[in-house]
């Protein structure tokens, strides 16, 4: 079994502990800060074996060195971005496999938000740690990559099983959903989901993870062939990269 613990930190970041119960190995995904991670580990009596980073941004690697120093854990990250991952010891990239005890993660390169962004898919456990690539009803901004790269990256994720739980790194769901409604005001799945999201957020509860099935139905960045979406955009081309780029451009200027 893979036990996953969500730790909310900073304004809207989620850090995750992943604990493989058979071998009792534990990893933390994208530790923005060390303190709350050390507390959560101590509460459960889990020693830390690995830091798994998805990309180099400070709100994902900020706790790396302190955790390494205090726990002796090993730091895992993208080999092609090794100079920007503090303390990196194990370098991985597209097509690699990483073993957390008995649990295997397949590694995808998902450039776009940054170059050298990776995702960890624990396929037998239906869990994807995708950092700032796919969000619930949204996707990461293009700080370093191109629309072509991000479209390809999202497409890799889109092809996973619908039961995959999307452990993204931020609670952006409600704002993303408000934007998605401007793209597809007639999408009934989206309207239904937003009711639930508003209910959860009113109580300050997490909306993450969602499942990939929910994202297929509601996330505009995974719905590049939706007729309603293409009508809203009023662009001539139905080329997925151009549709993606136009949605991303509008989202960048939305509130
Ligand atoms: Zn980021
Ligand atoms: Fe982030």
Count: domains in the chain: 2
Domain of residue 133, CATH code: 3.60.15.10
Is 57 noted as a catalytic residue in this protein?
yes
Ligand nearest to the CA of 117: 1
Compute, in angstroms, the gap from residue 2 CA to the centroid of ligand 1.
25
Is 55 noted as a catalytic residue in this protein?
yes
Is 113 noted as a catalytic residue in this protein?
yes
Residue 144 in any domain: the answer is yes
Assign 90 a pLDDT band (cuts: 50, 70, 90): very high
On the 0-12 / 13-18 / 19+ scale of CB atoms within 10 A, 185 is exposed
In whole numbers, what is the pLDDT of the chain averaged over residues? 98
- Longest Cα separation, the chain: 58
Q: Is the Cβ–Cβ distance between 165 and 220 less than 8 Å?
A: no
Residues 161-197: tens digit of each pLDDT: 999 999 999 999 999 999 999 999 999 999 999 999 9
Separation CA 124–CA 201 (nearest Å): 30
pTM: 0.98
Compute, in angstroms, the gap from residue 59 CA to the centroid of ligand 1.
7
Choosing from 60, 81, 117, 125, the catalytic residue is: 60
Residue 119 in any domain: the answer is yes
- The answer, yes or no, to whether residue 238 has pLDDT greater than 90, is no
Residues 151, 187, single domain; the answer is: no
Ligand nearest to the CA of 110: 1
Residues 80, 103, single domain; the answer is: yes
Residues 7-16: tens digit of each pLDDT: 999 999 999 9
Task: Give the domain extent around 21.
Answer: 2-168
Residues 155, 46, single domain; the answer is: yes
């Amino acid at each position: 079994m893979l036990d996953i613990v969500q730790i909310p930190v900073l304004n809207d970041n989620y850090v995750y502990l992943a604990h493989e119960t058979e071998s009792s190995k534990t990893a933390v995904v994208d530790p923005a800060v060390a303190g709350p991670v050390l507390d959560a580990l101590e509460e459960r009596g889990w020693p830390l074996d690995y830091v798994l980073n998805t990309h180099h941004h400070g709100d994902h690697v900020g706790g790396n060195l302190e955790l390494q120093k205090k726990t002796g854990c090993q730091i895992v990250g993208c080999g092609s971005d090794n100079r920007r991952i503090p303390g990196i010891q194990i370098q991985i990239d597209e097509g690699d496999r990483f073993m957390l005890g008995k649990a295997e993660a397949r590694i995808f390169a998902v450039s776009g938000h940054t170059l050298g962004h990776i995702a960890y898919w624990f396929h037998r456990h239906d869990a994807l740690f995708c950092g700032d690539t796919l969000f619930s009803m949204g996707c990461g901004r293009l700080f370093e990559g191109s629309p072509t790269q991000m479209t390809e990256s999202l497409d890799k994720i889109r092809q996973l099983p619908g039961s995959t739980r999307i452990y993204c790194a931020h609670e952006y769901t409600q704002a993303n959903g408000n934007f998605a409604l401007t793209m597809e005001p007639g999408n009934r799945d989206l309207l239904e989901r937003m009711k639930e999201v508003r209910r959860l957020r009113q109580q300050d509860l997490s909306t993450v993870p969602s499942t990939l099935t929910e994202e297929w139905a509601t996330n505009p960045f995974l719905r590049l062939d939706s007729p309603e979406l293409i009508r809203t955009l009023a662009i001539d081309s139905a080329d997925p990269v151009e549709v993606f780029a136009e949605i991303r451009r509008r989202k960048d200027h939305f509130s």
